[in-house]
Chains A and B, each alone.
Chain A
Amino acid sequence: MLGKDLSNALSGIADDKIESAMNTYARRKVRVRQGWLRVAAVAATLAILLTAALWPAETEEGFITAPGVMKVYAHNLTEEGVQKSAVTNMIEDVRYEPNFWTPGMSRLFGLPFSLEIPDGYFGDQEITFAVSANHGAFWKHEGLEEGYAKLGDSFKIQNDERIFWKCSMEELTEVIKNQEEIYADICVYAGQTLVGYGIIEICYTAQGLLFPLRCDTACFPPVNGELQAVPADYVGLQMEDLRNQKIFVSWEDKQKEINAYWDAFFDGKG
């Protein structure tokens, strides 16, 4: 049997499924079109973003969101220096830019990240990010003399500022034993206004390698030149939804897939 045979057999599936798939884009197109019309007044600002971001969309609550505006970069230290690669949602991206860290690694202090909002996206408002993690902690390099400083449970950093996530082997062992997931939550502020959010999922292998598996972000672009007043509890719910979106059917499946990838990578087949 070939893939073509499976493809041919798909012709015999129930009509309601085909019809649902047939109309699925149209159901989404209406909401996207409405959002696009509403932000047309700030097209000059959005034009910069749409080349890199997805189409703005309107939520059921009436907020305009723009996914992909905030970029999360994982950093890798190579012979050529520090390289940044955008964290997306596919394990295969790791294949091209293998950013990983493990407790006890000497060349990296922790798993390096930086967060970025394009210049001018929120006008001349200062951009800061509030970051917290459910396991481990974030650190920042304060200078040659000061060294690394542990950041609090929730801290603010500047645009494109590098931070490091790390945890102890003891904590990682507990996390693996309890089959827990590691997330970093991000809230974006323009001045004092909450204007975006995101989550980073940090994954681990059985051998204790840690790497960024995926991230999801969304911003609330200005509408008619004004920042949207988005309640913090609404953002909290959206972030919970993002954390609940899984690309693997089970924890076991995820670990099996991830371990297989890294085994192949270190065997030189990745």
Chain B
Amino acid sequence: MEDHRIIELFWDRSEEAIPAAAGKYGPLCRQIALNLLRSESDAEECVNDTWLALWNAIPPEKPARLSTFVAKIARNLAMKRLTYRNAAKRSCVTVSYEELSECIPAERTVHEELEARELAALLDRFLDTLEPDSRNIFLRRYWFFDSTRQIARGFGVSESAVRSRLFYIRKKLKDYLLKEADIHVG
């Protein structure tokens, strides 16, 4: 079913809206939730919460891209659930957080010089500097929380190539953040 038709169902408050969305985007949401939560039962609850959140969001929202709108909801809900669960076990997500922490030049400098609301725009600009494959690998790792093994299979390359590429991108991001912080200070 086309996205605009699914959105219409939500706007019409049709009982077919959620089944239609679930049929098209259920596997995507489930994969995102599973990558973060590493638990089938938690992932299932998260996915169910996603449909409820979607029902409450549309209307008034009329997303231009339903796929990313749904994915963002699922991701945010999964991250909140993970924080709430306070997972002590080292997971793919904590590894991702640790990897991204390498990109932060100095906590005091970035905290003082960059406002939080500018960070998304800054990351967006940084991603524009990357080649498409590098950008996609970065997002599969840090947006979708795929393991390096999943990414390697998805791209048809070795895991070591994925890790090398991520290492290089993180380094580039760190340099980019440093440069932006300097520019902001003037």
Residues of A within 8 A of B (CB): 1-22, 24-25, 28-29, 32, 54-55, 57, 67-68, 88-93, 214, 247-249, 253
Q: 10 A-B Cβ contacts within 8 A?
A: A3-B101, A6-B142, A13-B123, A16-B65, A17-B124, A24-B136, A32-B156, A55-B153, A88-B160, A91-B164
Closest residue on chain A to residue B121 by CB atoms: A12
Q: For B106, give the chain A residue with the smallest CB separation.
A: A1
User: Does B91 lie at the interface of the complex (its beta carbon under 8 Å from any beta carbon of A)?
Assistant: no
Tell which of B68, B116, B144, B163 has the most Cβ of chain A within 10 Å: B68
- Inter-chain residue pair count (beta carbon < 8 A): 137
User: Contacts A12-B124, A21-B140; is A2 near B104 (CB within 8 Å)?
Assistant: yes
Bound complex: CA of A25 vs CA of B149, how far in Å? 13
Q: Which residue of A lies closest to B154 (CB)?
A: A25
Given A1-B104, A90-B161, A10–B123 Cβ distance below 8 Å? yes
B contact residues around A7 at 8 Å (CB):
79, 96-97, 100, 142
Query: Number of contact residues on B: which range applies?
Result: 35 or more
Q: Is B184 an interface residue (CB 8 A)?
A: no
Q: Is the CB of B120 within 8 A of A249?
A: no
- Say yes or no: is B57 at the interface (Cβ < 8 Å to chain A): no
**B160 near A15: Cβ-Cβ < 8 Å:** no
CB <8 Å contact, A18 and B120: no
Interface residues of B in 4-39 (CB under 8 A from A): 28
Residues from chain A with a CB closer than 8 A to the CB of B72 are 11, 18
With A7-B100, A89-B161, A248-B168 known as contacts, the answer to whether A15 contacts B116 (CB < 8 A) is no
Given A1-B104, A20-B132, A54-B157, A15 contacting B68 (CB threshold 8 A): yes
